[in-house]
Amino acid sequence: MEKENEWIMCHTEDVAEAEEHTCQQQRRRRPQCMVTEVEASQLKEDTKHSENDGWESDCENQADDKRRNKEKDDESVSSSSSDVPSLDTCTPTKSVESPSSPSPFYSHTTSSCPLYPPLPPPVELDVVLVDSRLTLDIYRGGTAMLETLWENFPGKVKEVQYLRIGSEESGSLETVLDILPHLKLLRSLAIRGHCLQDSLGHPLPGILSSLPPSLSSLTLLTHLDLSFNRFTSLPPCLLSLPCLSILILSHNHLSSLPSNWGCLSSLTYLSVMGNQLCSLPASLAQLGALLTLDVSHNFLESLPEEIGELRCLKKMELSHNRLRELPETLKTLVNLRELMANSNSLRCVPEFLTKLPHLKKLDVRNNPTGRCSTPPPALPDPAQAKAGPSELHLGPSQHRFSVTPAGHHVFLPRGVELLFPEGCVGHSTELEWAETRPDRKWVCLEEHDHLLSWPLELLPHGVIFQKPVQVCMPYRQKARREIVVRRFDGSSWSKLQTWKRRGSPSNCVRPGGRRARLACCTVNHFSWFVVVSCPVRDTCLVSPEGALLVSSVNPAIKLRFLPSSTSQTRTVTLQVLQVEVSVVRELSSDSTASASPLLCLSQSPSLPYLQPVTVQVPLPPGLTGHTVDMSCLYLLHRQPDCQTWTDVTAQTPLHVTQLYVVFSVSHFSWYWLWYTTQRCVSGVVRRVYQRLRQFRVQFLVLQRKNDPEQVLLQCLPYNKVENTVQYLSGLYDGPQPSDLCELLEGEQFFAGFEKGIDISTERPDCINGRLSFIFYSHLKNHKEVYICSSQKQQGPVKGQVSFYRGEMPSDVPQEVAQKRKGPDSQWLATLPLRLPVAGGISEPRIPPLQLGDPENGYLTEANLLAISLQISQDWRNIGINLGFSYEELDRIQYKHRDNLGALVLDILFHWARRRGDTGPGAVPELIDAMTKSGRQDLADEIEDIVSLGKRKYRDSLRRVGLDTEGLLAE
């Protein structure tokens, strides 16, 4: 026993380090101890007289051969796992070998208690029981496994010396506690939580809260780990274990420690970190052999004076408590080597700590040392402290969730966060969310606005919350622009008060684990929400006493309101748009042209001023007061409801200083200061202003390398094209990007397939045979479609894709609208597209099929191909809701393990072929499967396709005069 205690003292620090990484240790195989040949022969002789002595001699020889092979394997496992310190596997004591069981035992174990994750058949006993070590904490159902082993082979289980088991499952945990007192040889026992994980990957806590008194019969027990459970006090049976040297009770609910430690005088390691301790008892001095004491992450405000009697103590962990001072008796701990007291409330570090002879590490970081002695505000009692709202992480297919009066922090895909405070609802309420494609007919953008997110719809709209709910949506950083959240109430858009923050660490969706930037607002009811960037708005209240408004974008721009300039208080807004000199010179054909920032002035209410307002702007870049030619300096003005610019230089005197120009205005609108040698300056300014609203873009037409029928169409701002092409080059191939074109934010354009190539026109986004797009500069403007030959040709088809303008926003300048009239002026770009053979392949890859019937609506092959491109990772949920078994889905997944697109296609067309002869019920079944899988967007698209087919069918009947009943009904 003395030798064992010496060994335990030398390895106490390693055990402490092992505890800090407990979650990783439970998933590794433990290193196995070696047994000498003399001990092996003796143990082999002993096992002949055990309860299993009825085995045949030939079975014994086979078992011995298998055991020897297993020992060799265990040696290699032990060498590879030597970096994991563990007391329960390396104690130098004689171990009892368990010979391998015959095949009947394997089949019995497998059928009575299957292991998870499943082990390859046949399941062997020595996988979990090696020598005298039984490891069940890494398997789901481990407690039931121990019960099965005890019922069938109690003699083998009684010889176990090292046992590890999880406490997360309540099914057989009571039976396990009844079995433990019979394991008299047990030396190391771990019954702990956080060994298994839930479906989201979160560790499961243990449910153990008490131990039976009979456990005190384990007199040889030296190591006990009960961490991550629900103990509120130390079980009394532990105080009767005379050999116990290591006790781990971390992450429980302990509120106090015993006043008498009983027979635990040989304890060398004690960890109670992560509990609810407010004080330590004076009885701690009874643990005279203690080497390591860990009481971190508790609520300790002071330490008992008796702690100085732990003369053997080498390491003491006090971090993350509320300690305000350290007792002077710590100076008697002459063997102390490490003292961790960081993250407390210590005002000073005692001088005697520096005089401890063996102290090598002292950590007092995150303490208010050197500050005034004003006591901090009272902290809440740990018993009354309330945890924050529970977190709820939803996947792409989970569109419904429930909120209780306790509150929730809900994380949606793409980085959206919803924070429901406690008491926001009076009872459990079911809510929904959905992301829809932006439609320019109802997503209205103001001038110079950029859409940064898809519209987020939160349902139901009529629910009124008792407390405001926080809605946070991700966005991309925009320099020198304001980020706002806007809400649509069904008839109009309104701006919400917005602030910015970083996303939660548990919801990192950016590459490299970076937290997303969030635009946040508070709402009392649900609706539609979008994130928009706009020119920065600087506002101030102008009273009769006067005011000064300075731009936050360019502090050189100022508005000065003199006293008595207004008779009533009004709100003034200033917006500034920066202009690139290169654009000005390119469009004006003047190498010396330059322009100051563009000003937009507005007010509410809109009333005339009693005195002029003084405006200061910087001189155009490259000019100073000494070099400026006043004959080339122009001030231009534009009304908000007009697209033309007027030269007001003659009516508005300009006062030029060394760096600025000062002028006075009497009403608010757009103002722009220009320097140019051109005499007809209004037309030049008009062209430059049009360019400010336009984006220079390029078009991509790419074909998937392993399937030329699959075509990707994309429109990108020119500065993003190079990186995108490089990223897609591994999967796609195609011609070079198109020439530069110009599009407005929210402008519609079309892609038409020409010269022998066509796509299915049975699509909601296909208008007059052309695929419809809406351009948003900060969203992905791409679609992936399947193409085919429009003519029955045997050889390859050399076609093309042309892009055309569509309807434009109503506020487009007249000059721009005139240039875009007529079929030829609507053309943007044309790119070649080649189909290797007619139909893309020499033989039909998928047999022709049509689901449903024309009268009730049907889906074609092309419709299913278009739908398959949008399913992505939801294929398994959709397959299950379509009636596939798990075995069928696994077989399809293995067949297409390297091609997700082919996997989805196989599922859809396999189902379609099975349902092809069942009549009109197939299409509703597919819509219902999409809805149940959380893909309401696909369900709506299928309904649109079916409705389009019905309408065309009825129109054809009307033309021939057959649908008389339908006409009367309508």
The CATH number given to whatever domain includes residue 863 is 1.10.533.10
Considering the domain architecture, whether residues 438 and 572 belong to the same structural domain is answered as no
* Position 250 pLDDT exceeds 60: yes
381 within a domain of the structure (yes/no): no
615: in domain: yes
Residue 582 lies in a domain: yes
What is the reported pLDDT for 908? 79
pLDDT: which is higher, 735 or 23: 735
Q: Look at residues 749, 884, 867 and name the one whose alpha carbon lies nearest to residue 806.
A: 749
The structural domain count of the chain equals 4
Identify whether 654 is part of a domain: no
CA atoms within 13 A on the CB side of 749: 31
Q: Are residues 572 and 706 in the same domain?
A: no
- Is 50 exceeded by the pLDDT of residue 121? no
Structural domain contains residue 298: no
Compare 422 and 767 and report the one with higher pLDDT: 422
CB atoms near residue 888 (< 10 Å): 14
Q: Point out the residues that are catalytic.
A: 525, 527, 667, 669
Do 527 and 597 fall into the same domain? no
587 and 522 in a common domain:
no
Q: Tokens 């220079």, residue?
A: 696
**Predicted pLDDT of residue 462:** 76
Do residues 528 and 462 share a domain? Answer: yes
Same-domain check for residues 447 and 569: no
pLDDT tens, position by position, 158-200 = 889 999 898 888 777 888 888 999 998 999 999 988 887 776 6
Domain assignment present for 770: yes
- Mean pLDDT, range 704-724, rounded to an integer: 88
- 3-state SS track over 181-225: HHCCCCCEEEEECCCCECCCCCECCCCCCCCCHHHHHCCCCCEEE
Which residues constitute the domain of residue 476?
390-507+514-534
Phi-psi map region of 178: left, alpha, beta (phi>0 left; psi -120 to 50 alpha): alpha
Q: What is the pTM of this model?
A: 0.51
Report if residue 739 sits inside a domain. Answer: yes
Residues 562 and 489 in one domain: no
SS (H, E, C) 68-134: HHHHHHHHHHHHHCCCCCCHHHCCCCCCCCCCCCCHHHHHHHHHHCCCECCCCCCCCHHHCEECCEE
Q: What's the pLDDT score for residue 321?
A: 93
Q: Tell me, yes or no, whether 682 and 704 share the same domain.
A: no
Whether residue 892 is found in the same domain as residue 800 = no
Segment 229-241 mean pLDDT: 90
| Cβ pair 79, 71 in contact under 8 A | no
Query: 3-class SS at 235?
Result: coil
CATH number at 485 reads 2.60.220.30
Give residues with Cβ within 8 angstroms of 541, minimum separation 6: 547, 569, 570, 571, 572
The domain that contains 731 carries what CATH number?
2.60.40.2660
CA angle 439, 444, 450 (to 5 degrees): 90
Q: Are residues 440 and 525 in the same domain?
A: yes
- Tokens 């990186």 locate to 723
Of 780, 800, 832, which one is at a domain's C-terminal end?
832
Same domain, 403 and 501: yes
Residue 75 forms part of a structural domain: no
pLDDT in tens, 570-583: 999 999 988 888 88
Q: What is the pLDDT of residues 620-661, one digit of tens each?
A: 998 888 888 999 999 999 887 777 888 999 888 999 998 999
Angle (CA) 456-463-526 rounded to 5° is 20
Do residues 619 and 659 make contact, with C-beta atoms less than 8 angstroms apart? Answer: yes
Task: Identify whether the C-beta of residue 243 lies closer than 8 Å to the C-beta of residue 269.
Answer: no
The pLDDT score that the predictor gives to residue 619 is 92
- Residue partners of 433: CB distance under 8 A and separation at least 6: 394, 399, 401, 412, 416, 418, 456, 457, 458, 459
**What's the mean pLDDT in 843-851?**
48
Strands 361-363 and 338-340: parallel
Please give the residue that has the higher pLDDT: either 49 or 374. Answer: 374
Domain co-membership, 501 together with 519: yes
pLDDT band at 837 (very low <50, low <70, confident <90, very high): low
